[in-house]
Amino acid sequence: MLMQRNPHRIKGFTLVELLMTVAIIGILAAVALPSYQNSIRKSRRQVAISDMLLYKQAEEKFRSSNLAYGSISEFNDPSNAAKAQYYVKTSSQPTDYSFSIVATTTTYTISAFPQGNQAQGYESSCSPLTLTETDARGPSDKCWAR
């Protein structure tokens, strides 16, 4: 015996069901996107901290040969053969952080300034990140936490 199909049954979604699904997806995206962006900012900040430690290492190497600490130009020019041994290849994108070094014969301060999206949100309280020859870190420990 063959089963008869109901000719009045319509397959598919109703408009209400579709709107509810879109609303749920929208709510989930509104909650998840800021959390994801904060995670990306924190990750990029850790890359900048890693780069600052590379600059710190280069400063100590530079001072052992020159009896003074160097400026940022000492570490960012790979074409200068005399200074090539001090070249620092950073992993940070220029659109995320810019670096500066204020140096004297006995002290230096390495600073990382957030750029673009990095300068927004909670990153503004961590601007700029600083590191000195005594390993003093600023502006606060929470900015350096992993």
Q: Is the dihedral of CA 72, 75, 79, 80 positive or negative?
A: positive
Structural domain spans, the chain? 15-144
Kindly report which listed range (76-80, 96-100, 112-116, 118-122) carries the lowest average pLDDT score.
Answer: 118-122
pLDDT of residue 100: 94
H or E stretch including 29? Answer: helix 15-66
**Beta-carbon contacts of residue 89 (< 8 Å; ≥ 6 apart):** 54, 78
Find the mean pLDDT for residues 69-83.
81
Q: Which long-range contacts (CB under 8 A, 24 or more apart) does 51-54 make?
A: 51/88, 51/90, 51/91, 51/92, 51/97, 51/99, 51/112, 52/99, 52/110, 52/112, 52/129, 52/131, 53/131, 54/88, 54/89, 54/90
For 22-74, what is each residue's pLDDT tens digit?
Answer: 999 999 999 999 889 888 888 999 999 999 999 999 999 999 988 899 888 88
Reported residue count of the chain is 146
Q: Is the peptide bond between 139 and the residue preceding it cis, with omega within 30 degrees of 0?
A: yes
Using a 10 angstrom Cβ sphere, with 0-12 exposed, 13-18 middle and 19 or more buried, the burial of residue 144 is middle
State pTM to two decimals.
Answer: 0.78
